[in-house]
């Protein structure tokens, strides 16, 4: 029996999650390898790093960016920076394949003309997680965040507009795309600790692309 690694083996589908949020299963399935090759190129110029939170914790997720600005964290706070603090140089440009995919996914969810400023690239190994949070460092509060899952599957945690709201669990697999915009833009969300596994293209890792309109 062939193990079911990801949604590449299923037809793409579209599931509304809530107003402003759509899950596009398998939307990027045909592009996973191309996207991962681009991530490797970006990581050569801007290596993944474990950033420190303002509270002094080192994040279990390793991060890098491409685009006009990149999301960074240090003891001073969170911000979007046109320069990579590790090198003092601009972030790698956003590859055309990234922009095209993000714009097509956003349009499918009803957000036309999407032109993201940043793509934050998150890398998870077994045990890495992202605690429940809101993304509120962007000036544009309506434009969607587009998320592309690559590699090992993960359980995505998705709550409401208040931290205490109930949290739903959603399994995301390689090639799945989620678009969160408009009224869904400020929902609390996170990622459960990654489980051990081996994916044919990423090995023991999960990579997530999150596109953001910052300005």
Q: How many CB atoms lie within 10 A of CB 2?
A: 5
Among 135, 167, 197, 201, binds Fe ion (CB under 5 A): 135
Give least dist CB 113 to ligand MD3, A: 19
The closest alpha carbon to 70, from 116, 134, 119, belongs to 119
Burial class (CB within 10 angstroms; exposed 0-12, middle 13-18, buried 19+) of 205 = buried
Shortest spacing between CB 122 and ligand MD3, in angstroms: 4
Please say which residue, 29 or 187, places its beta carbon nearer to Fe ion: 187
- Total number of residues shown for the chain: 215
Q: Whose Cβ is closer to Fe ion: residue 84's or residue 122's?
A: 122
Token pair recorded at residue 124: 């998870």
Q: Which residue, 42, 14, 46, 45, is CA-closest to 179?
A: 14
User: Taking the complex as a whole, how short is the minimal distance between the CB of residue 124 and ligand MD3, in angstroms?
Assistant: 7
Options 187, 194, 199, 202; binder of ligand MD3; rule CB under 6 A: 187
Of 175, 188, 145, nearest in space to 22 by CA: 145
Site for ligand MD3 (CB under 6 A): how many residues?
15
Which parts of 159-178 interact with ligand MD3 (CB under 6 A)? 178
Interface ranges with Fe ion (CB under 5 A) = 135
């Amino acid at each position: 029996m062939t193990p079911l690694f990801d949604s590449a083996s299923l037809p793409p589908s579209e599931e509304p999650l809530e107003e402003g949020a759509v899950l596009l299963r398998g939307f990027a399935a045909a592009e996973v390898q191309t996207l991962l090759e681009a991530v490797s190129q970006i990581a050569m110029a801007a290596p993944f790093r474990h950033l420190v939170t303002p509270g002094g914790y080192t994040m279990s997720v390793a991060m890098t960016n491409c685009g006009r600005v990149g999301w960074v964290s240090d003891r001073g706070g969170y911000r979007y920076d046109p320069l990579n603090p590790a090198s003092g140089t601009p972030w790698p440009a956003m590859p055309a394949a990234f922009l095209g995919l993000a714009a097509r996914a956003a349009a499918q969810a009803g957000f036309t003309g999407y032109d993201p400023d940043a793509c934050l690239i998150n890398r998870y190994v077994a045990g890495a997680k992202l605690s429940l949070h809101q993304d509120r460092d962007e000036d544009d509060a309506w434009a969607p965040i587009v998320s592309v899952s690559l590699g090992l599957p993960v359980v995505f945690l998705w709550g409401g507009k208040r931290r205490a709201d109930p949290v739903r669990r959603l399994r995301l697999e390689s090639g799945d795309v989620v678009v969160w915009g408009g009224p869904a833009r400020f929902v609390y969300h996170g990622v459960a600790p990654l489980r051990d596994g081996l994916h044919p293209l990423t090995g023991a890792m999960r990579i997530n692309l999150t596109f953001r309109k910052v300005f």
